[in-house]
Copies of this chain bind each other. A is one copy, B any other.
Amino acid sequence: MGKRVLVIEDDQELGAQIVKRLRDAGYEPTWWKEGRRLSRETLPDVDLVVLDLMLPGTYGMDILKDLRVFSEVPVLVLSARNDTADKVRALRLGADDYMTKPFWPEELVERVRARLRRPTLGRGDVVEVGALRIERGRREVSVRGERVELTRLEFEFLAALAERPGEAMTRSSLAARVLDPERDGTERTLDVHVSRLRKKLGRGAFVETVWGIGYRLGDGRDE
């Protein structure tokens, strides 16, 4: 039940230190000793990312930027730079916290803990909206107790919407979360899946159209 933490840190000593502390604290750390470009597939399923900004070769900022296109995972940034401009930039890019080296590992662990005790939206395993029930873990969906069989993409799409029930999400952000731009189709493709999804979910406008924007997960009442 330990939450998983991805540590991206090229410094051997510091990395080992961090990993050890996190493990001692009951987490399940994974250590990448180098920066890699991140995409939907290459990002492991983790609950939080500890990212060193000062990596050789790849710029940490770019990794962060990439990441935020398709994921909302909390990111704790480490950096040797202590100037405000850098901090502001990282936080604007979507970082959740910023620690300046050197620091004591205890503090890092506490900051990780502080982030993780807040609900991470995507991680709620069961989302219920009206008569619709989505179980992420089992990959099961039911309407009014009736199981509904969904294909992979249909499910992914619904699950993405369920990350923020009731909130409008743009096509592009949905596409980024669900589709692999290489293999899979374009935003147009989403329409088709929505269409099929609606047919399967039956009466009740669970997937609502937000004109000019994208879609929204509704409770299926009226409209």
Protomer copies: 2
Task: Determine the interface band of chain A, counting residues with CB < 8 A from chain B.
Answer: 35 or more
Point out the residue from B84, B107, B111, B138 that lies within 8 Å of A107, measured CB to CB: B84
Contacts of A95 in B (CB 8 A): 114
Q: Is the pair B91, A111 in contact by a Cβ cutoff of 8 Å?
A: yes
Contacts of A114 in B (CB 8 A): 91, 95-97
The 10 closest A-B pairs by CB, nearest first: A152-B212, A91-B110, A137-B167, A84-B104, A139-B168, A88-B110, A91-B114, A87-B107, A88-B106, A84-B107
Interface residues, chain A, with chain B CB atoms under 8 Å away: 74, 84, 87-88, 91-92, 95-98, 103-104, 106-107, 110-111, 113-114, 118-119, 121, 124, 137-139, 151-153, 164, 166-168, 210-213, 216
